[in-house]
Amino acid sequence: MATPQKILLGITGGIAAYKTPELIRLLVKKGIAVQVVMTRTAEQFVTPVTLRSVSGERVLTADWNNQEDPFDHLNRTRGLAAALIAPATANFLGKLAHGVADDLLLTSVLALECPLFVAPSMNPRMYANPAVQDNIRILEGRGVHIIRPDEGEMACGDSGAGRLPSIGHLATVIEEAVGPTADLKGKRIIVTAGPTEEPIDAVRFISNRSSGRMGVAIAEAARDRGADVTLIHGPLSIPLPENITNISVRRAQEMMDELAARFGGCDMLVMAAAVSDFRPSVVYDSKMKKNEAGLSISLEQNPDILERLGKHKENRLIIGFAAETDNLLQNAREKLLRKNMDVICANDVGRGDIGFDNDYNEITLISRTREPLSLPRLPKRQLADRILDEAARLLSSPRAAASGQG
């Protein structure tokens, strides 16, 4: 892990404050030190003792008389990598937008010299109020990063936008803000991405809708965490990542050949490519004319890349994807076992708001060692880090190969 960086976590008096101990626990686990500053009303939902227990740091409260240093609002905000206010109430947003400094948290925030992230959380009707929205726009205009609330049912029974985003999402936002860890330094990782194309004739081919975004995001995330990354990709609709060994292929057999040549020298394979299952039995050198095409094209199976590599897995880590439209978890788990993988990322490609040719995805991580972990709809770059969190955990812990096949 990289040397821990420190953030400020400001907690205001919203009911979602009860979630903050878990947020602190996650951040500390990721190697990030957390300095908590809380308002007086926040203490009605979570105690300073609890927050100190999980952070290991002295908690700054609204009671100035109990502070060991009268300049805590200055000294404790120096050298921070980032600051997060979660939850941020309507009252806090209004005061911050207008430079009010009537408690220790607001005074501390005014002294910040690092990126500030604010996660509003309140009743949906309050959040929709024009005054609240105006304050958010003011803050955004000053460079404050607003983490938009989730939609759903609130504690009061109302539904709409106003829920504090998931703790996992907040932790990922802050982790990206302070910079990646180096938990994959020295690891040799192969990532595949994009579709393959199986030619029919000189101009036509069989393919799919994969853009390669997910695989490229994983390759970039692994690079940023210190890994030596090789990206083997089919035709992509996005730019190639920098400072990565990029190998371009077209057909499934070409991808199989490149992987077979490199698999023995890697520590981990992430198979994010959408490889064509079938290819035409006959490929025509010239363009087929309409009167020559007939009514059908004979197909044959492509090599099952993961199944073949899984038979020679040894102690390497293999992560794959299951793009399904029905029986998502069942089909994914069967694929995990059949192809001798350690982790499979199951996603529903029947939805239009995630998956193929989309900047977002929503997946369930299924592994052999613990219960499935459902990750919410997130940008693919954020999901990439969540996947690699699991990979880093497995790589750093003693484990046997999935099936002992060699």
Amino acid at 307: E
Number of alpha helices (DSSP H) and beta strands (DSSP E) in the chain: 14, 19
Neighbour order of strands in the sheet with 32-38: 32-38, 5-11, 82-88, 116-120, 145-146
**From CA 335, how far away is CA 238, in angstroms rounded?**
28
Q: How many CB atoms lie within 10 A of CB 259?
A: 23
Phi and psi dihedrals of 126, rounded to 5?
Answer: -65, -45
Half-sphere exposure of 325 (CA within 13 A, CB side): 4
DSSP category for residue 77: T
Phi and psi dihedrals of 176, rounded to 5?
Answer: -70, -35
Q: Which two tokens stand for residue 365?
A: 């991580």
Half-sphere exposure of 50 (CA within 13 A, CB side): 15
**From CA 32, how far away is CA 23, in angstroms rounded?**
11
Q: Which two tokens stand for residue 81?
A: 């990598």
Among 78, 142, 84, CA closest to 113: 78
Active site residue 156: yes
Q: Could you identify the residue written with the tokens 């794959």? A: 320
Instruction: Check the CA dihedral 155-159-165-168 and report its sign.
Output: positive
Whether 115 and 177 have beta carbons less than 8 Å apart is answered as yes
Residues in the chain: 406
Whether 206 and 183 have beta carbons less than 8 Å apart is answered as no
Name every residue whose Cβ is closer than 8 Å to that of residue 389 and which is 6 or more positions away in sequence: none
Q: Which two tokens stand for residue 138?
A: 């003011």
Cα separations in angstroms, 6 against 69, 130, 295, 392: 19, 35, 65, 22
- The DSSP line for 376-391 is EEEEHHHHHHHHHHHH
Q: Which residue in 114, 156, 266, 345 is the catalytic one?
A: 156
Catalytic residue numbers read 156
